[in-house]
Amino acid sequence: MKKNEPKIKKYNILFIEQPVKSGKDHLIKTSLHLCADESFHLNKQFEKIKKNYRWVNIKPDKFGSETNILKAIKFAKKK
């Protein structure tokens, strides 16, 4: 992904969603803005997500309950 950054940046894309499989986040080496999808679950360590992703995709069916959705939103709002 790193080698294609200049090509991608010229399109003024806001973010790229989950460019690698869940669990492979450590492979991400880019300055592009990324959105976590499969990697963002309550059973994952939220702080690890912050290292590689600028946004998170909060889908209610992934979190199961209103309480868990609110926890995910609270995390997403943290800087």
pLDDT, tens digit, for every residue of 48-64?
788 888 888 988 888 88
In terms of residues, how long is the chain?
Answer: 79
The more confidently predicted of residues 1 and 27 is 27
Instruction: Summarize the confidence of residues 26-31 as an average pLDDT.
Output: 84
CA angle 3, 45, 51 (to 5 degrees): 30
Q: What is the pTM assigned to this prediction?
A: 0.75
Q: Is 14 exposed, middle or buried (0-12, 13-18, 19+ CB in 10 A)?
A: exposed
Instruction: Summarize the confidence of residues 10-32 as an average pLDDT.
Output: 87
Q: Mention every residue, 6+ apart, whose C-beta is less than 8 A from residue 60.
A: 69
